[in-house]
Each structure stands twice: as structure tokens, then as C-alpha cells.
Amino acid sequence: MKPRIAVLLGDPAGIGPELIARLLAQPDNRERAELLLIADRRELDEGMRIAGVEFPYTVAADAQSARFAEGVPALIDFRLPDDVPYARAEASERGGRYCLEAFKLALALTQRNITQAVLFAPLNKTSLHLGGMRESDELEWFAHQLAYRGRYCEFNVIDELWTSRVTSHMALKDVSARLSVERIVEAIDLIDGGLKGAGIARPRIAVCGFNPHNGDNGAFGREELDVIAPAVELARMRGYAAEGPYPADTIFVRAFEQQAFDGVVTMYHDQGQIAMKLMGFWRGVTVHGGLPVPITTPAHGTAFDIHGQGRANVGATQKAFDIACRMASQRL
């Protein structure tokens, strides 16, 4: 059996429809999974026009009536009641509302295992907030929609290397106070689970230090000695293949170039994000980790500045699709 993946076009004002059109114009991609597009049909057709590609699809009233011929996606023609054109190349209330309403259907189907994963093209947070999202970001909104109260986080992926972080969107001056043994072990547990969900039987996880030169035995701070090293030891005692802490300026050499690890846990946002984006911005993927359903998306944004120009790079969307297929297969 092939897994079934819910596919969304992202914000219609950006490059999302073009990216999905480029992705699904490749016959090999269409044959890897049964693909259920939840999108305004006109936006899909416009994406194909911009990309200069075409592919066949069928139209269904709902997921139950969808029929999946070999290599032919099914489309639920999803429209808002106020059927007027979307804004282009700018944030808008209607674009955000379209994204949120389409997501509600995709999440419900995937939670019921009618689809096994969700792949979506880039969103715009301003549009989402204008459209009614009260949470700080889409990850928090997903958790709320799924009524999920466990731990979750954003994984960033380049090729086969995954990263997670103990803290995220906060001032650097506040990070140290938020580091604790249990929070670091939780981050290790989350990325271990994500990697296993993508088919890695025993993930090798590197844990990053916090201070320059790993604190140099306490000369530049004691977080490595007092918090991070004990957390790594506790994680190992619980059965995780965790190592560290490693200095931030060499950990990605070990993990990426030497391929010594499958995942890296960093202590704060930019500690991992800068390295990952330098290694491959146009093939980076975001996985919404810890949630009860697999959700992937390219790590870049909506690129309003090149909307409609037919030159959007599909590399990150392809990688996000690859991971969605792997995770969906594991769930199936």
C-alpha cells in the first residue's frame, strides 16, 4: 500500500502554488504516494501556468469520494464562502483565512489516518494572524487544533541531518535561565522520536554546548558542567544514543561533513539555524515535531518578491515531500 499525503498550496499570494505545481509535474513524485490536494482549483491551475508545467488530476467532493489512479492526484476544490480573488505578493486576511481553513480539513483527515501526513507550501505569519490565528505561530496553532498537550518543537532538516533546540524565540539574555537537565532530555527525546518516525532505527544525537569553547572548563560559564553534561548522561541512561556537549563552532562539522550524527540538539534558535541555512537554504525543511501527525514544509518563506515570475526553486519542497513520504510510510 502507498501512503496518502494531504498537500496544501500555502499562501496564494506567494510562490506556494508554483512550487507544488513543479513538484507534482514530476511523474516519479506522483507515483510515490496517493496525493490529496486540498486547494482552490483555480490556484492550482494558476500555479501550473506560472511554472509552465501541467499534470493530470481528478476532482472529488470530499476525501471519501476521492479516487487515486496511478500517478494522478485527487483534488478537493477548497474555496472560501466569499469567493473573490486573493491578494497577490502581499499579506492579507483572506489569504490567511484560506490557509487556516484548508489546514483544519487536512489535520482532521490526517488525525483520522485517512491521510498519513501533511505537506504544505510556505505560509505567511502576518496573513495567518490577520486571518484569525491567535497563537504565536503555526506550530502552536497545529497543536491547538489537534488538542495535543504534549511537548512539541520545530525540527530543521538539511539532507539527512536534523536539528532541534531547547529554547526558541526568546532574547539571548534569557536563554541560560531556561536551560535545565529535564528540558534538554526532553529535546533529545523529541528529536529521537522524529528521526525514528522518518525511519532511523537508532538515531545518533549530538548535544551542543552553550558557551564559547564549551565554557572552557568553567572559564566562560558553567552551563556545560552543571546542566548540559548531566542531561546528556541522563539521556544515555534512558537509552538514547546521545553524546556531548560539543562546542557550537565544531558540532556541525562532526554532524554534517563527517556524518557522525543524525541529529543535533542546540540550546537556542540561531545556534542551529545559522549553520543549517548556510549549509543549504534552498533545500532546508521544517518538520513540526512531537505532534501526533507528520507535518512538513520547506524552511523558506513565501517569497512575495518573486511571485508570478516562474523562477521559484523547488529544492526545499522536494526535500519536504521526501520526508513526508518517509514519515507517512512509517505511520501507515
Closest CA to 7 of 51, 66, 49, 53: 66
CA distances from 305 to 13, 51, 90, 236, 302 (A): 10, 16, 9, 47, 9
Amino acid at 198: A
- Domain spans, the chain: 4-148+291-331, 153-277
Q: What is the pTM of this model?
A: 0.93
Which ranges of 78-133 does DSSP label H, i.e. alpha helix?
Answer: 93-111, 125-130
User: Mind listing the pLDDT tens digit of every residue in the chain (332 residues)?
Assistant: 899 999 999 999 999 999 999 999 999 999 999 999 999 999 999 999 999 999 999 999 999 999 998 899 999 999 999 888 899 999 999 999 999 999 999 999 999 999 999 999 999 999 999 999 999 999 999 999 999 999 999 999 999 999 999 998 899 999 999 999 999 999 999 999 999 999 999 999 999 999 999 999 999 999 999 999 999 999 999 999 999 999 999 999 999 889 999 999 999 999 999 999 898 888 999 999 999 999 999 999 999 999 999 999 999 999 999 999 999 999 98
Amino acid 312: pLDDT: 97
DSSP 227-261: IIHHHHHHHHHTT-EEEEEE-TTTHHIIIIIS---
Amino acid 169: pLDDT: 83
Q: What is the CATH number of domain 4-148+291-331?
A: 3.40.718.10
Same fold, 4-148+291-331 and 153-277: yes
Closest CA to 285 of 199, 209, 205, 198: 198
* C-alpha grid cell, residue 117: 501526513
Q: What is the CATH number of domain 153-277?
A: 3.40.718.10
Count of CB atoms within 10 A of residue 168's CB? 16
